[in-house]
Amino acid sequence: MTRRTLLAASLLSASRVRGANERVNVTLIGMGGRGQDHAKFYSEVPAANIAGICDVNQAARERGAALVEKLTGRKPKEYSDMRQVFDDKSVDAVSMATPNHWHALGTIWACQAGKDVYCEKPASHNIFEGRQMIAAARKYGRMVQVGSQSRSIAHKIEAMRLLQDGVIGKLYLAKGLCYKRRKSIGRKPDLAAPPPGVDWDKFVGPAPMRPFNENRFAYNWHWFWDTGNGDIGNQGVHEMDIARWGLGKTGLPKSVYSFGGKFVYNDDQETPNTQTAIFDYGDAQLEFEVRGLLTPEEGKLPFRGGNTIGNLFFGSEGVLVVDLMGFQVYKGEAHDKAMDVRHQEQRTWDTAPHMANFIEAVKSRKQADLHADIEIGAGAAALCHLANISYRLGRKLAVDAAAMRFSGDAEANRMLTRDYRKPYVVPEKV
């Protein structure tokens, strides 16, 4: 039997429609804070079986295995390299909670191995990667869901339906807000070697090799361009997705201009803690604000809590405001409150329904069943990447939306992808 025949047989087997009571074997990849959340959420999904966990950090693997056993009563299989997971025929699907720079390559490898994928947001580390993830999902017939859980939250679905039904008339502006307090990460020294049990080469993966630094590890990798995308691509990508969803925009804008800076702190962080982005769609505008420092908007109405995170939509007849607690509609010149809908969900920021939706699509083999298919997730991430490229270059950029490139700007176009460190290369052909 040839290798091609073996691959075809493997994909055919992996693509079968499962019975109603059959559970999907899921392996979790990345067992940091979000990976532990994945374990908790999947343990609540009856159709999912957490069969294994994978992490390049031995301590994280041990913590993850103990957590899964506590939650499910079953000890999961452990892997130190995601390629071992993809080679395991017993694995049906993987759930990726790795740093951003691993999302694309891990997803593509999984698709090539016949695995379905739940991938944390942002879908990709750059725009090229998002395109390749879509291509891999389609070529290999895989279900690929991005962790944009707002797409599975009832009151947000209802708010978006009302917008598209014209509740505030013709939309002309959407604003996404990410005022989330972020403390300084300080400065940490580079070390000659990583801590025992950490495979630093595999952690760095597609990114340029750097000496181990505590600030480039664990959660703070978000604030370095090699591995993260700043808060616009971390918390902000959720609100970016809602903004484009409400506006009804699926493509790229005509132009982008982003500005701001890393103010106040003198630390290792590279990404901005204050950022504004403006996207021109011709018939409407999308604006986005990131603020990690102290701000008077924190916890003020119409939002709740210590952070102000949500979306505002402006139309010819009024305003709709949506956050994790619900949504409000204000109509007319006097801004009279026409609607105040409090959420009905048991938990307002719950990922379990989104993961249950993924598992349902794995069983049905219907891409349309996914609430946040890779094309949706990659589109939201692309806006964050456009903003960051404009911010880093310090200028407004014209966008050729059809070609998914910048118009007449070679320097900006080079930033649509990256130089990958071998052998961790996102391929041109998937």
pLDDT at position 325 is 87
Please report, in tens digits, the pLDDT of each residue of the chain (430 residues total): 343 433 444 454 445 555 556 899 999 999 999 999 999 999 999 999 999 999 999 999 999 999 999 999 999 999 999 999 999 999 999 999 999 999 999 999 999 999 999 999 999 999 999 999 999 999 999 999 999 999 999 999 999 999 999 999 999 999 999 999 999 999 999 999 999 999 999 999 999 999 999 999 999 999 999 999 999 999 999 999 999 999 999 999 999 999 999 999 999 999 999 999 999 999 999 999 999 998 877 655 455 556 889 999 999 999 999 998 899 999 999 888 889 998 877 665 689 999 999 999 999 999 999 999 999 999 999 999 999 999 999 999 999 999 999 999 999 999 999 999 999 999 999 9
Within a 10 A sphere around the Cβ of 362, how many other Cβ atoms?
A: 28
Q: Which two structure tokens, joined as six digits, stand for 57? A: 């950090």
Q: In what order do the strands lie in the sheet with 24-29?
A: 77-79, 48-54, 24-29, 93-96, 116-119, 144-146
Per the CB < 8 A criterion, the answer to whether 289 and 178 are in contact is: yes
Domains delineated in the chain: 3-151+352-373 (3.40.50.720), 154-346+380-407 (3.30.360.10)
CA 117 to chain centre: 13
CA-based max dimension of the chain: 74
Given the structure tokens 């962790």, which residue do they identify? 147
Phi, psi (rounded to 5 degrees) for 162: -60, -40
Structure-token pair, residue 303: 């939002």
Predicted local distance difference test score (pLDDT) of residue 307: 83
Within 10 angstroms of residue 169's Cβ, the number of other Cβ atoms is: 12
Contact 64, 371 (CB under 8 A): no
104-121 tens-digit pLDDT: 999 999 999 999 999 999
Residue 257's pLDDT is what? 98
pLDDT at 336: 87
Kindly report the number of other CB atoms within 10 A of residue 6's CB atom. Answer: 10
User: Using an 8 Å Cβ cutoff, are 56 and 81 in contact?
Assistant: yes
Please tell me the predicted confidence (pLDDT) of residue 218.
Answer: 93
* Number of other CB atoms surrounding residue 233 within 10 Å: 26
- φ, ψ of residue 64 in degrees (nearest 5): -65, -40
| DSSP string for residues in 24-85 | EEEEEE--SHHHHHHHHHHTT-TTEEEEEEE-SBHHHHHHHHHHHHHHHSSPPEEESSHHHH
Q: What is the pLDDT of residue 118?
A: 98
How many CB atoms within 10 Å of residue 232? Answer: 29
Tell me the DSSP string of 398-426: EEETTTTEETT-HHHHHTTS--PPTT---
3-class secondary structure, 298: coil
